[in-house]
Amino acid sequence: MIEKEFRNEDPTGKVITLILFLVSLIGAGTLAIKIGLQGFPPLKMALFRNILGIIVVGGVGFYFGVSMRLRIEEFPRLLLIALLQVLHIITLNVGTQYTTASRSTIFFTLYPVFVVVLGHFLLPNDRLSATKLLGVLAAFGGMLMALVPNLQGAGKVEHLIGDLIVTLSACLLAFRITFTKLFVQEIYPYRLLIWLLGISIPFLFILSYLFEREKPIEWTLASSAALLYQGWVITGFCILALTWVLRKYKASKLVVFSFLMPVSGVLFSKLFLGDALTFYLLAGTGLVATGIYLVNRQPEKV
């Protein structure tokens, strides 16, 4: 049934403009996480982020009169992507806590590479070519180059741990995007996202209660603003918009624009947190961006 109804069109100019705007906003996401972690434990921040997101998505759906009633046959698929979303957010928050915001942005931006690899096996007419393979190798080369300072310096093992956790988060996000591309063909985008967030909230609440009961929240202006940015701008607006366009347009054509994320993320981190723009960091960002571009640049076969 999915094969028959599968929609995979080339994005229009207006859609491309929208994607460029969205990935620029998402690029500042790791900065918002880094600032938010100064006042919120990772799991509690993820919980509040989803609550804020569901308010926005639910409000938009209510305004347009979209039915949010869950259908029984949809629940297993929604549960799967909800679990992937929970694991993705947890690993991203925890990983960012152990590394810098700019480094977290680099490793998180590897998710389009994972999307391309998964698309080879799971998405119709989206095979891994020689050019895509070269792009994958270039992106991972950039990741290794960005790791060089950690491998050479003493007392920075926690950065390496954080980088690896964020990379795992990128992989989990790629799985979530790939399955969303499949499921959104049959589940209306608003309903998919509202239940994705709704199912995630109880899991995050339980995990936060078990592991963060003794960790207080510090409601500072900066951490609160960062939380609002994650919940309303990224989860409420960006993810909703991306889910909508993902229903119709090619995932491989959309993720190419994610090369802006490391650029905007690193620049935001330098501007607001004073992260050092080292040669390895800049070169690693460049290689990751080049790899992501190569993965997606080849013309589609007719």
pLDDT of residue 295: 74
Low-confidence spans in the chain with pLDDT less than 50? 1-4, 153-155, 301-302
Which parts of the chain fold into alpha helices (H)? Answer: 2-5, 13-27, 29-36, 42-63, 75-98, 101-108, 111-122, 130-152, 157-183, 189-211, 221-228, 239-246, 251-255, 260-273, 279-297
pLDDT of residue 139: 82
Structure tokens at 289: 């961006």
Phi, then psi, of 9 in degrees rounded to 5:
-95, 160
pLDDT of residue 296: 64
pTM: 0.80
pLDDT of residue 230: 96
pLDDT of residue 169: 96
User: Tell me, what DSSP letter sits at residue 301?
Assistant: P
pLDDT of residue 302: 39
